[in-house]
Structure 1
């Protein structure tokens, strides 16, 4: 279960859902909640401290309007946002960091390098990107799986933190029908193509079922969706159609040149979807 949460706010409208969601989770699980604002430290000290006091007053009022939990502290720090957020999360042993969605700018909507992307990549603990404009409990949760240990860790962590409790849970797996594509390209008869495509789908279905059983999630009630397509694009399609409240994804923690060239499904999803997303690192 959740014991401690850290919500970080830059006082913008996109941070409001993060504070709201953090309050809801803290109340539901009686967890400790820290609400943090980071002030840039490249300014005169007097001005910096004034900004910190003002930010704390604004956040106190905001948290109060949502129903401040019993174990809640509002505070500010000075420094680089993503570094301070990660440091404070470690200090407070936060189980989850809650952040607002990144800035979406016309023709410059690049997720790499934003505060939330950097925190997700470096903090070493789950990051919840809150997009929902209400703090209502999640009713429908999707867990993206690719049969890797990364996605297994994400699923187990979401359950261990109590984030799946009371929700309709579905595992989502995307696959590319390679056999059908190759046979169609080779001019194989349509009936034969359909037969092989069905055989391939059933094999994937069995693999998904075995993977989910191996997660050891006890008596969790769940469904499964298998969709055709590649990576993030396929997941985006099913999410936009089914409209879950939360998507759980694993992250691989790629860094540097490797991250820039290879990209990341988690990175793409967090940069494009407008629902709450829990990104879970492979290790903590």
Structure 2
């Protein structure tokens, strides 16, 4: 890891993100930045007062930050639209990881306007580490979620290149939905025509597809366990997290594209809204032409 940036709103829920960022700085001996963006959508006098207060507070905490990470961070206080400006700052600082804290969950508001975090995930060009849990140690039980797309392959490679996967390897999860295929068969030939072992056949096909994907993308060297789960992706994730220890979920932010993504929703968005493990959300190298926002 060459450098990381912590984007903080200075709330209590940002404390875990701070400690995880500091732990990563110690682990990788890399430079780091602490960024706070003052929302530009308020009176100018209030902006000026807030900028001054934040700068004083961060400077007062500088010795603490330096001791925590073993390295003194650069402190940035900026003014702008938070989601857009944080993404721009990662480019200016040339970091390869952005660390953020969990956000307030307000389902009604999120449905209509989205959270700053979700807007940031859609515009960021670097992986975003969403910290939900206390940083008690290095990541030892990561889970790579894949839909066998280029986006999920890029997510797995990014986690490996950042050094966030343990040496023995990581688990990979691939979900399949036999119900969807069965409904299509039923519509065309009647429910009686659906084979009794349809789900088992779908599981075999999903397993073969995952093996082919890992081979094609050359990901097998850092995968030590394959999990094939029945159900929709977010349902499969819930099931695995209930029964197995997972301290880091790694996923791409754009498996689906265009109108299909709008209709079906984003698994990454859903995971960030409800799952309580840390999440590494990795954008694709290049945005699909028909899916720009």
Which residue of structure 2 lines up, in the alignment, with residue 274 of structure 1? 276
1:73 partnered with 2:78: no
Residues 51, 77 of structure 2: 8 Å contact kept: no
Structure 1 residue 137 displacement after superposition: 0.8
Aligned to 2:160: 159
RMSD: 2.9
Once the two structures are superposed, what CA deviation does each residue of 1:138-171 show, in whole Å capped at 9, x if it has no partner?
1100000111111111111111111113465100
Q: Give the Å deviation of 1:24.
A: 1.1
Aligned to 1:7: 6
Paired with 2:105 and 2:63, the residues of 1 have a C-alpha distance of 27
Instruction: Could you tell me which runs of 5 or more consecutive residues in structure 1 were left unpaired when the two chains were aligned.
Output: none
Distance 1:283 1:132, change over 3 A: same
Alignment map for 1:78-89 (pairs within 5 Å): 78-89=79-90
Q: CA offset at residue 59 of structure 1?
A: 4.7
Paired residues of 2:142 and 2:248 also in contact (CA < 8 A): yes
Aligned to 1:39: 38
Counterpart of 2:145? 144
> Contact between 1:56 and 1:75, CA under 8 Å: does it hold in 2?
no
Note the C-alpha offset of 1:249: 0.5
Distance verdict in 2 for CA 1:62–1:40, change over 3 Å: farther
Structure 2: stretches of 5+ with no match in the other structure:
287-293
Whole-Å separation in 1 of the counterparts to 2:168 and 2:59: 35
Which segment drifts farther, 4-13 or 244-253?
Answer: 244-253
Partner residue in 2 for 1:193 = 196
Deviations 1:143-201 (A, max 9, x none): 00111111111111111111113465100011012456657x72369xx513x433332
Match of 2:291 in 1: none
CA distance change for structure 1 residues 74 and 238 in 2, over 3 Å: closer, same or farther? Answer: same
- C-alpha change, 1:111 and 1:60, in structure 2 (3 Å) is farther
- In the TM superposition, what is the alpha-carbon distance from 1:227 to its structure 2 partner? 0.5
Partners of 1:121 and 1:254 within 8 A in 2: no
- The CA distance in 1 between the partners of 2:84 and 2:3, in whole Å, is 19
Task: Please give the alpha-carbon distance, in whole angstroms, between the structure 2 residues aligned to 1:278 and 1:141.
Answer: 10
Number of aligned residues = 279
CA distance in 1, matches of 2:104, 2:12: 11
Structure 1 residues 171 and 123, CA gap change in structure 2 (3 angstroms): same
CA contact (8 A) 2:150 2:255 kept: no
Whole-angstrom CA distance in 1 between matches of 2:211 and 2:77: 46
Say whether residues 1:129 and 2:126 are aligned partners: no
- Distance in 1 of aligned mates of 2:156 and 2:112: 24
| 1:27-48 C-alpha deviation (Å, 9 max, x unpaired) | 1111211011122343316513
Change over 3 Å in CA distance of 1:253–1:101 after alignment to 2: farther
Higher-helix-fraction structure: 2
- Does the C-alpha gap of structure 1 residues 254 and 72 become closer, same or farther in structure 2, counting only changes over 3 Å? farther
